[in-house]
Structures are given as C-alpha cells and as structure tokens.
Amino acid sequence: MSKPLSGIRVLDLTNVLAGPFACHQLVHMGAEVIKVEAVGRGDLARQLGADPDLNKKNMGVSFLAQNAGKKSVTVNLKKPDGKALFEKLVATADVLVENFRPGVMDRLGVGYEALKQIKPDLIYCAISGFGQDGPWVHRPAYDQIIQGASGVMSITGNKESAPLRVGYPIADTVGGMTAAFAIAAQLNASPRGAFLDVSMPESVLATMGWVVSNHLIAGVEPSANGNENPTSAPSGTFETAEGLINIEANKDEQWLLLTDHLGLATLRDRPEYKTREDRKANRLQLKADLETALKSRSARESAKDLNRIGVPSGAVLSVPEVLSMPQVADRGFLAHFEDVPGVGRAIDVATTGFKVDGSAPNVGSPPPQLGEHNDEIWADLGVSAKDLAALKEGGAI
C-alpha cells in the first residue's frame, strides 16, 4: 500500500533542526525529500552532536537524528550554473522548505516570487525565527532565544528556578511539526500553490493553549509551578522509596481510591482537604502527608498498583529507561540501520509518534552523505556526465 505522500517531491533547503524535522515527518509519510545543501559543508547539523569523530566525517549525530530516508545533492546558488540547475530541480518539485532569515532567498534570486514563475503550484514553506514580517523580523533566532521570547521559559521550573530552559529544543521541534502540518494540509488545497509563513514563537504559543487562554480569558498571570499541576490536587510529582512518581488524582473518586490504597482515609476528614479547591489551596502540605505512605515502596511498584485500581500514575523515567521499555522498543518507534555509509557502524534513530493501520512509518535508507545523490538527481534532469564534471570543477555543485 502506498504511503499518503507517495509521489510528492520535497526540496529541503533547511539547516539544523526546525526545517529538517519538518521534512523528517514528510519523508516518513512517503514524500521524496531531497536535501539541497551547500557545496563543501552541507547542513550545519552535519558538524553537530556528541560524537566528535562523526562531526569530522560530516555525519554528526544531530544530522543523523532527522535525515534518514532523504537524498542529498549539493549546489552553489551564488554560481549562475548552480542557480540554473536548481531552478530545473524546482520545476520538478511540489514543495520547497527553507529556514533562512527572511530575505536571504530573495537576495539569491530564488525566493517565492521568482520560483512560482517556474512552478506556479509550488508550496513554498519558510520557517523563521519570528515570521516574515513585524518589528522583530530580522532578529537572529535559535531555539533557546525562542524559548525565552515565547514565554516558555517563564513558566518552566518553579518559583525558585524559573525562568528555565526546557530540556530539549522544543521551539525548533514544534516549529518543524507546525510546518509539516501546514504543508500536508496545503497539499490537499486547490489551487495548491501557496507561501507558508511559519513563525517559531507563534507555533510554540499555539501549543500553550491553556496557559494563554487562562491569561486572556480568565485574567490569570502565567506562573512556574514546577512539578505541581495547578489544575487539581493531589496532582504532581511525589517522592517514593526509590525514584519519583507522578500521580494525577484529579477526580474526587480518584482521591478516595488513593487515600484508601495508602491507608490515609483519615485525611479526607480534615477540613483543608474536603474539596478539590481546598486540596489545591493546601497542596504542599497534602503532598507531604501522602509522601509519608508513598516512601514505603518504589515508584514503579506504586505506579503499577495505583494504575490497577484506577488512579492515573507513572514512574518518572530517564530517556535511556523509556527507550528500553517494551512499550516503546517493541512498537517500531526506533529505526535500525546497519553499517551506515560515512558513519561506519550501525545506528538507531527515532521515527515518528504514530502508526498507520498498525505499522509505524519507516524509510528504506539511512541519512545520506553530503552530495551522495548528485549523479542520480542531476542526471535525471538531463545533465550529462560531461556537464556534471564541468559543474563540479566550476564549484556549481
């Protein structure tokens, strides 16, 4: 059975994370994704990651993480021959994704207005720090800058530690997911051609619906609540004999089940815990009272027992722990590639967070070496072997 985006050609002119992550989603849904990279250096992510040897090989871990299944060509858009070759490639494409600063593509003569003359139904997606207009349009933007500018850091941590950076590049990732969603939707539009302007802080703010709406509608000042869920109590993170456990007894019946299970039914008679609002107002004392019983067992043991009786809970796991769990390891979430060219060993990488008819989307090839598909792609456009050699000699590819 063909994948949803089979037959769709995407040109990925992006670097590092937001754009590559967007195209990572598209390639797993069946699109042919061609990375169009700078001659000699390619995507900056090729030199980034925790393995210095791979960085030297232009196959950094940061690149390997979201480029499996893609093809790679190199082209110098500042060279007339390179630009002409790129325009021939655009004529064959359905989608182009870039995450340069606003105006860069226009200055190179390959912005949306120029390219839609070549391909009128082209979907052109520009992912940028702050969007294509507005007073901040020319500000440089990296994930942590966007985390700060979008308000995320102000509500992360607790009163003592906030503002605090989220522990992974959430702004880049959410921006990339937003772009992938917009592209997939636009592919179903008629007419199809459009300019998609993806702003990273707006993408992040869109995922902060409860926080934003509590402020706009209810007048509540957003705050950092650490591991406490301010919407209910007991709801948050608790200490156990071994590890931390998250418990969300948000309903009154869950509160009854929890206190009965822990042998703390007498807590229900205390006036400060009578109602949900009472428990919220006295949540820190309630936390301490519950921990007197929770500290007799491990987080994993307690989570198993609480879930069985209908109280939502779960041990707080590390990344290595959760990756090794059958719930993740056995569902096809990780892709395995043997003896990856340019890497020299096998690698495992994350795919997507969903299945289609019971199967996790996958791709058939590992992340590409820089320019690995030059001969294939450019030859398909009618460039002869002799002309390819001349283009390489002249630095156009």
Q: Over the stretch 111-162, which tens digit does the pLDDT of each residue have?
A: 999 999 999 999 999 999 999 999 999 998 999 999 999 999 999 999 999 9
Task: Let me know if residue 275 belongs to a domain.
Answer: yes
Cα–Cα distance between 100 and 118 in angstroms, integer?
21
Residues 312 and 335 in one domain: no
* DSSP string covering 318-369: -HHHHHHSHHHHTTT-EEEESS-TTT-S-EEEE--S--BTTB----SS-PPP
Which of 293, 316, 339 is a domain's end point? 316
State residue 275's pLDDT score: 94
SS (H, E, C) 185-230: HHCCCCCCCEEEEEEHHHHHHHHCHHHHHHHHCCCCCCCCCCCECC
Given 12, 43, 143, 172, the catalytic residue: 172
Residues 241 and 369 in one domain: no
Cα–Cα distance between 330 and 25 in angstroms, integer?
21
**71: β partners:** 34
In contact, 127 and 179? CB cutoff 8 Å = yes
Token representation of residue 64: 């390997």
State residue 140's pLDDT score: 87
Token representation of residue 274: 């009578």
State residue 315's pLDDT score: 98
Q: Is 151 helix (H, G, I), strand (E, B) or coil?
A: coil
What DSSP character marks residue 296? T
Which of 316, 341, 357 is a domain's end point? 316
State residue 2's pLDDT score: 86
Residues 342 and 306 in one domain: no
Residues 187 and 285 in one domain: no
Residues 177 and 83 in one domain: yes
Give every residue of the chain whose pLDDT is below 70, as ranges: 1
Residues 31 and 141 in one domain: yes
Residues 34 and 151 in one domain: yes
Domain of 112: which CATH number?
A: 3.40.50.10540
Cα–Cα distance between 6 and 28 in angstroms, integer?
10
Residues 312 and 337 in one domain: no
* DSSP string covering 88-99: HHHTT-SEEEE-
Cα–Cα distance between 250 and 258 in angstroms, integer?
11
Which of 316, 346, 374 is a domain's end point? 316
* DSSP string covering 367-385: PPPTTTTHHHHHHHTT--H
Structural domain count, the chain:
2
List, in order, residues 6 or more apart from 302 with CB less than 8 Å away. Answer: 240, 245, 294, 313
State residue 265's pLDDT score: 97
What DSSP character marks residue 76? -
Task: Let me know if residue 321 belongs to a domain.
Answer: no
133 is catalytic: no
Task: Let me know if residue 297 belongs to a domain.
Answer: yes
Domain of 272: which CATH number?
A: 3.30.1540.10
Residues 17 and 121 in one domain: yes
Task: Let me know if residue 223 belongs to a domain.
Answer: no
State residue 1's pLDDT score: 67
Residue 222 identity (one-letter amino acid): P
Buried b (16+ CB within 10 A) or exposed e, 57-87: bbbbbbbbbbbbbbbbbbbbbebebbbebbb
Give the range of the structural domain holding residue 260, as residue numbers without chain letter.
Answer: 235-316
Cα–Cα distance between 333 and 28 in angstroms, integer?
12
Residues 251 and 381 in one domain: no
Residue 210 identity (one-letter amino acid): W
Residues 197 and 240 in one domain: no
